[in-house]
Structure 1
Amino acid sequence: MPKKATLANHYSSSELKQKYIKNQDAVESRRWHLLWKVSLEWTIKQAAIAVGISYE
């Protein structure tokens, strides 16, 4: 089973989603998107694939 990442409780899932949606910079937006997916209990690999980042 893949390892799961844990996030500190600095932002809620909804706050991470808003940061992802509102960010104008493509790279920064992708980072927030990845963190949002991980906050929803996705594995890092699943989240990376969803946002188009190579994970190996």
Structure 2
Amino acid sequence: MVFGCALLVLPIWRLISELWILAFNIYERLVEIRDLMARQVQTPAVVQPALRDGD
């Protein structure tokens, strides 16, 4: 009985642990994206006007 419960509980525990790790990795990546976007806003790029065919 105990062995059967362990066979059920251990994979579920592993799944929950993996989901927590995934959630933290996603959070870290979102923080990196936020920081990169914040740097881009502070230093805007120079926009060149588009040239027409006759120019």
Name the structure, 1 or 2, with higher relative contact order (CA <8 Å, separation 6+): 1
- Higher share in helix: 2
TM above 0.5? no
- Structure 2 length normalisation: TM-score? 0.31
- Structure 1 length normalisation: TM-score? 0.30
